[in-house]
Amino acid sequence: MNPADPRNAKSFRFVRREYSDGEARLVYAFDEGPELVERIGFPQAPALLPERQVSFDAALDLLHLIAGVSYYKAGVPDEIRVESATLDAMTADFLDSLYLHGLGEFAYHNKFDLRGRIRFPVSEVAGGAHFAATALGLPRNTLVPIGGGKDSLVSVEILKSANEAATAVWIGNSGLIESCAQRTGLSMLNITRSISPVLFDYNRAGALNGHIPVTAINSAILVVAAILYGHDAIAFSNERSASSATLEYDGVAINHQWSKGWEFERSFRDRVHARVATDLDYYSLLRPLSELAVASRFARSNRYDDVFSSCNRNFRILGPKPSDRWCGQCPKCHFVFLALAPFMPKPRLLGIFGRNLLDDASQTAGFDALIEYQDHKPFECVGEGRESRAAMADLSRRAEWREDAIVERFAREILPQLEPDELSVEALLVADGEQALPARLLGHVQ
């Protein structure tokens, strides 16, 4: 067997992390194998203020530890070795949970159990105390991650309505996201991320592969950026339905969106305040809202109709992309079409997508998965099954939609099996649930 194959490795190593001239370099290795070096580029980065150095180093440590999940999964060895930082017990527990749940879908598809396997080592330090974060006096300005879809654009408009200073930020080189960021009218920041080419070599040779908690990695990158550029808040756009599991397998809840959920938000926020900076806020602005509530807000304006897209095929690292902004075939296209349909005129929606997805009987199975009919919810960032059922039931009562193939079949075959009290769109538009929003913004979201 090939000794360089990460599946044969005994350990995964966090070797070192470095920063200079606007670039962070995160270095990993399996045993004594080749170094895997990830590079994060911070354009036109200012000189780091001396009073922020300790917090910046702590943020860089956190980024190194979280981003390692992309590489660890290639082999999933028994031992994790952290050579670049010291870990207190709470940070080690946080990382154990992140790797376990963030790789839950990966483990499900690769058919192995990660429980009890992931153990980040707690470090002893001289004097017995780890660094405790303090306030940095960061300037009032919010980093708003732009993903190209409707959610982050709703967040932008909420912050504008609250007269909050904000910067549109995105990671990677997507022209589609850049177009959305430009349309917001906010100042912009484009951070680059280059995954180690060694990982792609491993994948081509048959290493383990699958879904990772990308939002966790992006969150850690933005903590570094906030300290470097001077921002006191990071506002993601994850709604409350992101906390719902995709399915349960062998006693474990598997959630494709785990790092977009409340459990991650709360624990990551705690680690930032404990280890990085007490006055650097991290929250999801849309946390109290359902996906349907977000869709209803997006539909209030046509400002972004010709630039946004939630179709994930636009954002593949490798492989073909759709010729236009919507492939019309994937779960994200299905769900966004269905979620927007109750809230905007039909011609406007068909103009956005260029076709009527609900009048294409060949796509029935995709919509069945969304409503959890004879299948579980797709492994994608889509709303809860009850939201899709409520939206479909709403359309079945509308003259302009009820004769479309998939809506007509839903009304005839599926609707009679459902409880009426589960089918209220209005009930799903109420803001509710756990959240960490600043008090000054609550009235703009509820």
pLDDT in tens, 226-252: 999 999 999 999 999 888 877 777 777
Residue range 199-209, pLDDT digits in tens: 999 999 999 99
Alpha helices in 374-438 (DSSP H): 385-396, 405-409
| Claim to verify: residue 235 and residue 360 sit in the same structural domain | no
> Alpha-carbon distance 371 to 384, whole Å?
8
Quick check: is 303 in a domain?
Answer: no
Residues 6+ apart with CB under 8 A from 286: 151, 154, 155, 237, 238, 239, 294, 445
What confidence tier does 313 reach under pLDDT thresholds 50, 70, 90? confident
| Claim to verify: residue 56 and residue 96 sit in the same structural domain | yes
Q: Is residue 222 over pLDDT 50?
A: yes
Residue ranges making up the domain that contains 43: 6-284
| Claim to verify: residue 116 and residue 209 sit in the same structural domain | yes
| Claim to verify: residue 196 and residue 316 sit in the same structural domain | no
Hey, which residues does 206 pair with through a beta bridge? none
| Claim to verify: residue 335 and residue 280 sit in the same structural domain | no
DSSP H/E element including 367: helix 364-370
β strands within 91-134, DSSP E: none
What confidence tier does 102 reach under pLDDT thresholds 50, 70, 90? very high
Quick check: is 424 in a domain?
Answer: yes
> Alpha-carbon distance 260 to 252, whole Å?
18
| Claim to verify: residue 345 and residue 218 sit in the same structural domain | no
Which of 263, 269, 336, 351 has its CA nearest to residue 296?
A: 336
Q: Is residue 322 over pLDDT 70?
A: no
Q: Is residue 143 over pLDDT 70?
A: yes
| Claim to verify: residue 327 and residue 218 sit in the same structural domain | no
Residue range 119-135, pLDDT digits in tens: 999 987 655 567 789 99
What confidence tier does 317 reach under pLDDT thresholds 50, 70, 90? very low
Task: Report whether 106 contacts 117 (CB < 8 A).
Answer: no
Quick check: is 300 in a domain?
Answer: no
Could you give the percent of the chain with pLDDT greater than 70?
Answer: 96
Q: What mean pLDDT do residues 275-286 have?
A: 97
Question: What's the number of domains the chain is made of?
Answer: 2
Which residue has better confidence, 136 or 374? Answer: 136
| Claim to verify: residue 183 and residue 272 sit in the same structural domain | yes
pLDDT of residue 415: 94
> Alpha-carbon distance 47 to 280, whole Å?
19
Pairing mode, if any, of strands 187-194 and 166-171?
Answer: parallel
DSSP H/E element including 28: strand 23-30
Quick check: is 295 in a domain?
Answer: no
Which of 120, 12, 14, 118 has its CA nearest to residue 74?
A: 12
Q: Is 275 helix (H, G, I), strand (E, B) or coil?
A: helix
Quick check: is 112 in a domain?
Answer: yes
Helix axes of 291-298 and 150-161: crossing angle, nearest 10 degrees = 70
Quick check: is 117 in a domain?
Answer: yes
Q: At 193, list the tokens.
A: 């991320």
pLDDT of residue 374: 79
| Claim to verify: residue 262 and residue 411 sit in the same structural domain | no
Quick check: is 1 in a domain?
Answer: no
DSSP H/E element including 152: helix 150-161
Task: Report whether 314 contacts 325 (CB < 8 A).
Answer: yes
Q: Work out the mean pLDDT of the chain and round it to a whole number.
A: 92
Hey, which residues does 187 pair with through a beta bridge? 167
| Claim to verify: residue 344 and residue 241 sit in the same structural domain | no
Angle of CA points 242, 248, 250, to nearest 5°: 145
Alpha helices in 205-360 (DSSP H): 214-229, 262-275, 291-298, 331-340, 346-353
What confidence tier does 319 reach under pLDDT thresholds 50, 70, 90? very low
Q: Is 207 helix (H, G, I), strand (E, B) or coil?
A: coil
Q: At 360, list the tokens.
A: 């294409």
Cα distances from 404 to residues 362, 392, 423, in angstroms, run 12, 11, 19
Of 284, 318, 342, the one marking the end of a domain is: 284
pLDDT of residue 320: 44
Other Cβ atoms within 10 Å of 353 Cβ, number:
18
Which of 199, 143, 136 has its CA nearest to residue 4?
A: 199
What confidence tier does 323 reach under pLDDT thresholds 50, 70, 90? very low
pLDDT of residue 315: 52
For the entire predicted model, the pTM comes to 0.94
| Claim to verify: residue 261 and residue 316 sit in the same structural domain | no
Q: At 170, list the tokens.
A: 């995105």
Q: Is residue 429 over pLDDT 70?
A: yes
Quick check: is 346 in a domain?
Answer: yes
> Alpha-carbon distance 212 to 256, whole Å?
9
Q: What mean pLDDT do residues 305-316 have?
A: 80
| Claim to verify: residue 152 and residue 250 sit in the same structural domain | yes
